[in-house]
Amino acid sequence: MSAYKQFNSQDIIVSPFEVNKSFTFLGGDTLTGSEVGINRLLGRDGNYLISGSQLTGAISSSQIPSVLLYDSIKQLYYTNYISGSSGFLQSGVTSSVIIGANEEGNVLLGPRENNNYYNYPQTTLWQNRYFPTSSEANPNAPVGVISIPSKLFGEYIQPLSFYIETESGSIKDDGQGRLQFRENPNDSYQYIFGNIIYQHGIITLFDSTILSSGTASYGDAVYGVDKYDTSPTETSVSINGFIFNPNVTMSFSSSLTLFETQYKATINESEFNYPLNPTAITGSGMPTIFSGSDLDDSPNTASIGTPIGFVTSSYFSPYITTVGLYSNDFELLAVGKLAKPLQSSPTTDTTILVNIDR
């Protein structure tokens, strides 16, 4: 049997909270497993009508044309930066005005002033992005892409958590959507061309050349450019080592928002002070009609139960063992078992909190 109590709006609290989970994968085979599905792709600039049959992707069932990958990455994340200086935002596009007889007669030629596209900035700082375009020295402009499925990263990748390592070196993110590289464990990290889009699980990599301080060479430094008393060394970062190398280690942390619903069931001191356990009633069977019940229209003395003596004592308080949540139609939706029986109090209110995560 059950006793019911209606919840009010102030008895229900919905609270969001964020949970995180770390992932680490060793080897290229672990990335492409059916339960993981992390794809590494190489996009190239070109004409789709000519090279559209050139597919890319470490997962054979998810391969796409390399030209379309290049165009998609450029459109989504780099269109505002391609014609800008040093990788910064390009100037806004403005329209020309042909003056008419009055303001209504003015004619605008070209698009209105705008910054063209939304490229998913990952920082409130003044972020610059570089994107390779075709040239005589770089005719195909390769673009490396690591695609992490949303089933792994949830809502977004935790900043400062992405890391990938191969025989070519290691790359990590700086928490602002930019990537850093080091060739050897003893080296310091240097910024390279490429970005991470946390909410999309996309990492873009481009061939880079970085300068790092080398061994001391007194007198060889160029004033105003290099560090005094050091000779800079060039390091070439090739994306092929991170896209195709099977000996790869990758790690990151996911982020997901859960909603905890808390139901506060308050039992007043005058409520639920009578046991509902059938064993508190004398007789071998469960009575169908209780004395004084509203259903006692035609009482049958054979079906009226008698409470056991100690139940009627003024010092007796029943124990609560289970809390059930019901719909308005009295449909049982959830059941909560208390860790141990809770004795109801005839002198103070008792509050039971039921938490459900969803």
Give the pLDDT confidence of 81-92 residue by residue, as tens digits. 886 555 555 555
Residue 1 lies in a domain: no
Clarify whether residues 330 and 231 are in a common domain: no
Instruction: Report how far residue 178's alpha carbon sits from residue 199's, in angstroms, rounded to the nearest whole number.
Output: 14
The whole-number average pLDDT for the span 64-71 is: 94
**Which residues have C-beta within 8 Å of that of residue 311, sequence separation ≥ 6?**
274, 275, 280
Clarify whether residues 64 and 159 are in a common domain: yes
Q: Kindly state the tokens that stand for 321.
A: 């063992």
Residue 3 lies in a domain: no
Checking if the pLDDT of 319 tops 60, the result is: yes
In which band, very low, low, confident or very high, does the pLDDT at 233 lie, cut at 50, 70 and 90? Answer: low
Clarify whether residues 315 and 350 are in a common domain: yes
Clarify whether residues 157 and 292 are in a common domain: no
User: Is the CB of residue 281 less than 8 Å from the CB of residue 309?
Assistant: no
> For residue 149, what are the domain limits?
28-95+107-247
* Residue that finishes a domain, picked among 247, 277, 303: 247
Q: How far is CA 177 from CA 118, 145, 183, 269, 278, in A?
A: 15, 14, 20, 57, 65
User: Is the CB of residue 12 less than 8 Å from the CB of residue 263?
Assistant: yes
Clarify whether residues 35 and 135 are in a common domain: yes
Clarify whether residues 193 and 270 are in a common domain: no
Clarify whether residues 270 and 216 are in a common domain: no
Residue 4 lies in a domain: no
Clarify whether residues 138 and 223 are in a common domain: yes
- Based on the structure, what is the number of domains in the chain? 2
Instruction: Report how far residue 69's alpha carbon sits from residue 64's, in angstroms, rounded to the nearest whole number.
Output: 7
How remote is the C-alpha of 232 from its chain's centroid? 40
Residue 129 lies in a domain: yes
In which band, very low, low, confident or very high, does the pLDDT at 144 lie, cut at 50, 70 and 90? Answer: very high
* Residue that finishes a domain, picked among 247, 279, 298: 247
Checking if the pLDDT of 26 tops 70, the result is: yes
Closest CA to 90 of 123, 122, 113: 113
Q: How far is CA 108 from CA 98, 117, 199, 342, in A?
A: 6, 20, 37, 76
Residue 118 neighbours by CB distance under 10 Å: 10
Instruction: Report how far residue 147's alpha carbon sits from residue 162's, in angstroms, rounded to the nearest whole number.
Output: 12
| % of the chain residues with pLDDT over 90 | 38
Closest CA to 147 of 70, 27, 40, 55: 40
SS3 183: coil
Clarify whether residues 172 and 114 are in a common domain: yes
